[in-house]
Structure 1
Amino acid sequence: MQITASTVSLTVDDVAASQQFFTTHLGYTEQAAAEGFASLARQDGAVDIVLLARGTQVLPADQRDQHAGGLILAFTVTDVREEEKRLIAAGVDITMPLREETWGERLFQITDPNGVIVQFVEWAAPATP
């Protein structure tokens, strides 16, 4: 098997709201869109995103009413502090402020209008005891 790309498909209540959030604040561009559907991508190594309206007939019956809850969409970035500053300056609500874990992970979170949690991570040397 050779994987040539990765895509996460998120079922949300308001496709347009999530699409606007990801294109405005996270540098995604629309690749395709229709009623209840949007395909988003970036030029770098970030995962592509497909947004599907909850209840859409394209989904199997047992998946139509599910929501993208419990999912954390995580991006590893090169300067997590600067990314947090940029998003704050853009008016994005930081739902988990920047913190550093003892194992060397720096991270913070934002949440899109449909409740999709987006986490930004930067790895550093772990703190010494």
Structure 2
Amino acid sequence: MQITASTVSLTVDDLAASQRFFTTHLGYVEQAAAEGFASLSRDDGAVDVVLLARGTEVLPADQRNQRATGLILAFTVTDVADEEKRLRASGVEITMPLREEPWGERLFQVTDPNGVIVQFVEWATGTEHA
């Protein structure tokens, strides 16, 4: 098997709000969209994001009313402190301020309008662990 791309699908209540958040603040662009669906990507190594409206018929019946909860969408970035400043300056609420963990991870979190937690990580040791 050869994996050629990675995508995370997130089921949300307000698809348009998450789509605006990802395109406005996180640099994603819409690749495709239809009723209850949006596919977003970036030109770099970030995972693609598919947003699905909760209740959409394309989902199996047992998944239609679930929401994107209990997960953290984490991005390893360069200069995490500058990224936190940029997002804060653009009006994004920082839901977990920048901190450094004992194992060398520097990170902070934001939360999109549907409760999707997005974490930005940089390894303080200079060695990429992710």
Is TM-score (shorter-chain normalized) higher than 0.5?
yes
Q: Identify the residue that residue 82 of structure 1 maps to in structure 2.
A: 82
Consecutive unaligned residues of structure 2, counting only runs of 5 or more, are none
Cα deviation, 1:68-126, whole Å, max 9, x if unaligned, reads 01110000001100000000110000000000001000000000000000000000129
* AA at the equivalent of 1:7: T
Shift of 1:17: 0.3
Q: Report whether the alignment pairs 1:65 with 2:96.
A: no
Q: Report whether the alignment pairs 1:41 with 2:41.
A: yes
CA-based RMSD of the aligned residues comes to 0.9
TM-score by length of 2: 0.95
**Aligned equivalents of 1:111 and 1:12: distance in 2?**
13
User: Sequence identity of aligned pairs in percent?
Assistant: 85
Q: Identify the residue that residue 8 of structure 2 maps to in structure 1.
A: 8
Q: Identify the residue that residue 93 of structure 1 maps to in structure 2.
A: 93
Q: How many residues align?
A: 126
Q: Identify the residue that residue 115 of structure 1 maps to in structure 2.
A: 115
**Aligned equivalents of 1:14 and 1:6: distance in 2?**
23
**Aligned equivalents of 1:105 and 1:81: distance in 2?**
12
Q: Identify the residue that residue 17 of structure 2 maps to in structure 1.
A: 17
* AA at the equivalent of 2:21: F
Cα deviation, 1:42-64, whole Å, max 9, x if unaligned, reads 00000000000001110011111
* AA at the equivalent of 1:67: R
**Aligned equivalents of 2:17 and 2:125: distance in 1?**
37
**Aligned equivalents of 1:125 and 1:4: distance in 2?**
29
Moved over 3 A (4+): none
Cα deviation, 1:15-53, whole Å, max 9, x if unaligned, reads 100000000000000000111110000000000000000
